[in-house]
Amino acid sequence: MPKPIAHDPITLEILSNALRSVADETFVALQKSAYSTNIKERCDHSTALFDAKARLIMQAKRSLPVHVGAISGTISKLVEKYQGDIHEGDVFVGNDPYAASGGHLPDVCIIAPVFHSGRLVGFSGCTAHHADIGGSNVGGASGGLTEIFQEGFRIPMVRLFSKGTLNRDIFEIMLLNVRGADERRGDYYAQFAAVSLGVKRLKEICDRYGADFVEAAFEELITRTRERMERALEMIPAGEYTFRDILDDDGVANHDLPVVVTIRKTDGRLIVDFTGTAPQTPGNVNSPWVDTVSMVIYTFKGLFDPDIPNNHGLLSAIEVEAPQGSLVRPNYPAAVTNRSYTSQRIVDVILGALADALPERVVAASNGSNTGIYLYGTDPRTGNPFYFFETMGGGFGGRATKDGKDAVQVHVTNTANTPIEAIEREFPLLVEEYAIVEDSGGAGRFRGGCGLRRVIRPLTTDCTFGGTAERFTHRPWGLFGGKEGETGFFGIRSVDGALKVLPTKVPRVKVTPDDLVVMQTAGAGGYGEASQRTAEAVRADLKDGKFSEDYISRHYGTIDPAPGKGR
């Protein structure tokens, strides 16, 4: 028998890195095998390993924080539903936030059990955002939907492969209910391949170390993570911290939706309470509970110990509370597709609440959105339907020691921006502008990041545009005297140059080759007083073209353009 794992920290570290390697390898395998631009270019997917009790053990480094809850929830539902009836070669699928404890319908989770010598030792799981999931939810980002039934094809936790054999009847139903079935099929096959690779690699680890040792390592990794997080949380002074922020709207009828958090720190306990947050809303910005909890965990990990492993130990270190039937804990059948906007606001309010207590660790408000846009129609080159979906980056908030980043996905959605070459190669679309938005970052000792602008011309007469976003009405706030960032907008520019500004959550709009679709994301707030910014940093702002002379003059005064001279 191997030595007790607690007395062999070197082997534990080696094993921990082996598990991370498996998660990372399956992530790349899914990306490299996928058909859709949204996965192979933007990496809108995540992979992870779980133990036999459905506890998260290891998540791929490049996985999305917002996916942690979705995979963890569906794994728990799987074990609850099929315990005692799980076999080698089985593969399970689910996406529904209610029947499968998932995130939202476009994120389809695929899960395979891992057996060693006939014994269940864990699961290999992944989730991927499918560019379409059917229903009224074109592109997986439609606004204005009011119940889960409109949002696409709902999949409860079901067995898709039984002992290695695909249930083709279920798979055909899945493909029948989506647009672009061939692309969806290819992405599903990529997910099957990824979890299969995870099964193979985890078995190899069990072959090398023994299943007993590996299971003991799982327990030790969870325990050490919980203890490490609890030690980190001791940096928060005892007390109560509250902050309030606002969502622009729900895409239907409700505007200015408050998200409120109260953080209570006492000896040995940390409670994150969302009492005071808006009730669940008709529009589809409600955040399923699994996502709300994930956002809390992500934020505290980022604040205190970014290198800590993402596993179940994090979940047990923090208590999260929210009223049932609220925006952050909705009841069935609330619509949830655009829950990521509320997820972003959850992060912002926690950062805002802890700003005075931990000024060196927090960041100002970022763009607060992952700005989902889609264009779909008929490709005149082939006569086939096309579906382009992506989420666009924006500004990242100013920090205690450095400026915010420009044109990036922030916090919960660390996907990439789609390259122009990929868009124009795969879709009948011409990208006429792809730029950082001038003057959009909030001024400060350390400025906020700037937003992103894309201008796209459809090359087909059969094309529809839609999108959803946030921070189009309420600006991203600054900290400690830092200025607010600028808001974003959607618009259609006609052939005569006139710009028609669209709603924050855009209904479907027909566009033609005579139209330019303008999509501009928000910047981010600055950190610290603008008067404290160095002359060298201000000159750099002016030189790199991200900020105009007028902006510089308004916020920083007159700057001598010659380097080395004082302000």
Tell the residue number behind the tokens 């915010």, with chain if given.
Answer: 404
Structure token digits, residue 26:
């399956």
φ, ψ (nearest 5 deg) of residue 145: -85, 145
pLDDT band with cut points at 50, 70 and 90 for residue 268 = confident
Separation of alpha carbons 481 and 363, rounded Å: 13
Whole-angstrom distance, CA of residue 3 vs CA of residue 307: 27
249: Cβ–Cβ under 8 A, 6 or more apart, which residues?
255, 256, 257, 283, 473, 504, 505
Last residue of a domain, one of 183, 209, 228: 228
In percent, the amount of the chain with pLDDT more than 70 equals 97
Q: Which of 228, 247, 268 is the last residue of a domain?
A: 228
Q: For the chain, give me the number of helices (H) and strands (E)?
A: 12, 20
324 assigned to some structural domain: no
The C-alpha atoms of residue 449 and residue 375 are separated, in whole angstroms, by 27
Does the residue 257 lie in any domain?
Answer: no
The number of folded domains in the chain is 2
**The pLDDT of residue 566 is above 50:** no
- Report which of residues 6 and 248 the model is more confident about: 248
Q: What is the pLDDT of residue 425?
A: 95
* Predicted local distance difference test score (pLDDT) of residue 71: 86
Q: In the beta sheet, which residues pair with residue 511?
A: 463
> Does one domain contain both 224 and 370?
no
Asked whether residue 59 is assigned to any structural domain, the reply reads yes
332-367 per-position pLDDT tens digit: 999 999 999 999 999 999 999 999 999 999 999 999
Structure tokens at 187: 């992405």
Mean pLDDT on 464-489: 97
Please say if the pLDDT value at position 419 is more than 50: yes
At 565, the pLDDT band (50, 70, 90 cuts) reads very low
CA distance 470 to 492: 18
Q: Is residue 420 part of a domain?
A: yes
Position 567 confidence tier, pLDDT thresholds 50, 70, 90 = very low
Tokens of 273: 């309470």
- CA dist 22 and 197 (Å) reads 8
Give me the chain's average pLDDT, please: 93
> What's the pTM value of the predicted model, to 2 decimals?
0.94
Helix segments in 131-272, DSSP class H: 168-176, 181-209, 211-233
Domain containing residue 521? 363-533
Does the residue 357 lie in any domain? no
In-domain check, residue 283:
no
Are 377 and 526 in the same domain? yes
What's the average model confidence in pLDDT over 12-35?
Answer: 96
Q: What is the mean pLDDT of residues 242-257?
A: 96
**Could you say which of 228, 247, 269 is where a domain stops?**
228
In sequence order, what are the beta bridge partners of 455?
433, 518
What burial class does residue 439 get, using C-beta atoms within 10 Å of its C-beta: 0-12 exposed, 13-18 middle, 19+ buried?
Answer: buried
What pLDDT is attached to residue 309? 83
Contact 27, 39 (CB under 8 A): no
Mean pLDDT of 236-242: 96
Would residue 22 count as lying in a domain? yes
Do the domain assignments include residue 500? Answer: yes
Per-residue pLDDT at 149 exceeds 80: yes
